[in-house]
Every structure is written in C-alpha cells, then in structure tokens.
Structure 1
Amino acid sequence: MVLIPRSDPQNRWSGILHGGYGQEIEKKIHYLFDGKKQSVKDIYASCKKRRGRSRYLLSVSVEVFNKEGQQIPARLVFVRNRSNRKDYLVLISTDMSIDEDEIIRLYGKRWAIEVFFKVAKSYLRIVKGCSSRSYDAITAHTAITCAGYIMLAELQRFQEDSRSLGDLFYDTFDELKDITYQESLILILSALLEAVSDALSLPDEQHQKLVEIFISSIPPLLAKRLEFAA
C-alpha cells in the first residue's frame, strides 16, 4: 500500500517500508520464515500474539527476495485494525536497525501524507481548481488549498482527540494525577501520629512535642523533605 524507498541504486529493497491489510497483501508476497516461504496469514496464524494494550500484535523477522534472488532480512509488524478488530495491518521494513515503534511512527507519518494528497486532489481540487497559467495565481491557489486542509485537519482532531481541548485537557489530567511520594508520606505519618495521640489522649502541646521528637529522630534528608512538603 505504501512504499518509502531509500536512495540506494545497488539494492532496491533497502530501507523499504511497506504496509497493507492482511487480506490485501497475503496473496501477493511470500516471505521466508522458519525455513519455508509463507504468506503473512500463515505467519500470523503460527505465532503467539502480544497481549494487553501493546501498539502492535506481533513482530517477526523474515527474509524477502529481490529481483536477483538475493535474500534480504526484513521485519514484519502486525498492527490491529481499529475499524475491524478481526483484521490487522501488516508493515514491513528492511531496515533492521529501527524498532517496531519507529516503524509504526514512520508509517503513520507516511499515511498522513497520503491522506493529504487524497483530500487535496479529490475534495479541495488542488489540480483542477485553478486553470490560470500565472505562477502567482497557482502559488496562491496552492496556499489556499493547504490552508483549507489545515482547517479540516484541525476540525477532525478536535472531534477525535481530547488533547486538542488545550488547557481543559491538562486541568482534567491534573485532577486525575497521582499524589507525590512526599505527599503520600505526609498523609501516612500524619494519620499515624493522630492515631497515637487519640489512643493516648494527648493534648495539643504534647501532640506537637511528639511530632518534634519524631522529626528529630529521623534522618536529616527525610526530615527536610517532610518540612518542604508540609
């Protein structure tokens, strides 16, 4: 579906990123895996998938063949299809130096560029929207088209991504964040001292003296942190 070749005249496969849905590419290309040529469907079915909320389902090392029949190492990354939980997206990279997260990130950026070309050409009429032969007119039309796409992309993000809410998102995040180590330590020690004071029926003066004795008996570094947090 998507190709990102490196400029390497000696090896056309070098650094290629390719992606496609399982049923789209499984019949086109076979990869050497476990000593035999297999489709992505067979590879996916024979391997154990990652559990939990991982960014990808499976990652395996395979070998592909160029036109000269040479074997080239590659990595297949299987990503869950969000629109269809039973389907998966397959990404392949022949650059073995990058990890799975980087492959997914690069493919995401490449896909965003493809979406831009599709929207600009089909919906914003970047090609047929201007029939002038003036360079200034063509430049202005291109700039207006790009500005229109920016507005559409921003609107889409506001509708789908809660991070676009700005300060409201961060304020909500601050309300949900965990308390710090110092704050939790203060809460525990305060509850302990309160329990001791209530059990012994100590007046306020003796309670304060108990706190001072406790602070003086602990290591100085911890005492400074407690005083700073208080």
Structure 2
Amino acid sequence: MRIGLRSGFVRLFGALLVTTAVLMLVFRYLEGSGEFDLREIGVYGCRTVDSATVAPALHAYLGRPLPGLSARGIESELASIPGIDSAEVLFDLPDRLDVVISLSRPVLVLCDGAAEVALTGRCEPLPPTFLSDTLPRVEISGGDYHRVLPGLAEWASTGGIPDTVDRILVEPSGAVAIATDGMRIILGYSDFDSRMQTFVSSGGRCAMRNGWVEADTRFDGQLVLRGNPSNRAGVSI
C-alpha cells in the first residue's frame, strides 16, 4: 500500500515538473516574441499641466518586457519628480501598466518681489504649475523668512489662516498678517494660530473701525493696539 502511494506521489510530482517546464518554455517564447512588451500606460491622478514632466519618465519604459520591470523602481523615479508626492504602479499583463499618482499639495505662495514659488507644508518648492491665486501669499519684506516659513507652512497646511487675511509679510518683527480691511496683525516668529485667535477673541476685527491700524499679539495672550505702526506705544486689551 505504501509502495503504491509513493509511486503515485512520484508520478504526480513528475507531472508537475513537466507542466512547470512546459509553462516556462511557453512563457519564454511569448516573452521573446514581444507578447509581454509594454504597449500601453494608463496614468491616473495627474493634471494635464503636469503631463509634460510625467510623460517622458514613463515613455522610456514602452517596448520593454513587462515582467522585467520593477514597480518600486518606477514608483521611486516618479516620486523624485517635483510636484509628485507618491506613485503606485500596477502591472496589467500582458502589455499594460497603470500608474496612480498623488500630487503634492501646495499650501502657500512665497514671493520675494522678483519671483514667486508655491510651497508644500514641508516648505518644498513646487513647479510653476502649482501657483494659484487662492493660496495664502507670503511676501518677504526685510525679515528672516527662514525662521518664519516652516511655521507659516504648517499653519497653512492645517487650514488655519483665516480668509480675512489678504497676505502675510515677513518683517524684522516676524510674520505680519495684513487683513482685508488693512489692519496689520503682528504674529512674531511662532504660535501663529494661537496668536491669531488672541486677535479674534479680543475683538481685534472691530479695531480698524475705531481708528487702530496695527494689532500686536506677541505679549502672552494680550493684544496691543496702535494707531501708528511706527509708534511702539499702544493700548493693551
């Protein structure tokens, strides 16, 4: 009985080896005849304006055998392109490749008076195609933007900058938010969201109507209102 079982197992194992060998030969034949050569690439998540940078990177893979390509290698190459946060590559045998792209998200625009660039929440510069009038605008005006920018980018990425802020200046006193009514709100170099909340909760939005033109929020929860930006004296509320 054991001999019969062993003999049956050997025959089954031999049949599997033969089948595997035949399949490998067929696969090699099809591969050699170009049956698995990449002929079509589908790209999803990419804007039309960014296709000029994505297309050349993918075009280089056309005509190459699909089984010989590395999904991780293609994903890494695409992720290195400015403006692309990540990419997922899916093989669709015999001759198609699908690519799902996640674009970087711009959170603000930095302007130095001569040029402007969109930045991510990690302060990474993005191509000009990411510039938009709807993004918060940060203008360098004599201050140390290297100290201010990381905090502003993080603030913008959380959606914390109010719509009532027209633009933000980087001055020697730090970040200065310019409200749509012209009020200057000095935020300093840190804690931008909490300092803006101090301005709002202290009634700063109504201060412009009462003749104040500048609100300084750098004093531990206090709001200092000034009628003249050049005058350091003011009224604390």
Higher relative contact order (CA 8 A, sep 6+): 1
- Give TM-score, length-normalised by structure 2: 0.21
More helix by percentage: 1
- When normalised by structure 1's length, the TM-score is 0.21
Q: Which has the higher strand share?
A: 2
